[in-house]
Amino acid sequence: MKYLLVIAVVGVVLWLMFGRQRGRGQGKPSVPPKADTRQLPVQIVACAHCGLNLPQTDALQDAAERPFCSEAHRAAGPR
Ligand SMILES: [Zn+2]
């Protein structure tokens, strides 16, 4: 009778292990929701003079609507 109990316990343990592995397998394909909702609110543009990336809302534009990171670079013009 003791062996039957041991076999039953081992069977339950194995069943739990396989059950957990199935749960992990099902969880893997799901993509974290942060990647989908994390959209940039503003467009990123590169300074026409130095190439610095900055939000379009912070960029200064010249007459040709080229983005610049600062007034000094707008005065210097595109490189
Ligand atoms: Zn610049």
Residues with Cβ within 8 Å of 40's Cβ and at least 6 positions away in sequence, in order, are: none
Percent of the chain with pLDDT over 90: 46
What is the Å distance from ligand 1's center to 74 Cα? 8
Distance separating alpha carbons of residues 54 and 32, to the nearest angstrom? 27
What is the Å distance from ligand 1's center to 29 Cα? 42
Start-end of H helices in 1-79: 2-27, 33-37, 71-76
pTM of the model: 0.49
What does the pLDDT read at residue 5? 85
Structural domains counted in the chain: 1
Which is higher by pLDDT, 29 or 70?
A: 70
Decide: 46 and 68 in contact? Cβ < 8 Å. Answer: no
What is the Å distance from ligand 1's center to 33 Cα? 35
Determine the structural domain holding residue 36 and report its residue range: 2-76
Amino acid at 48: A
Q: Which two tokens stand for residue 19?
A: 């059950």
What is the Å distance from ligand 1's center to 26 Cα? 48
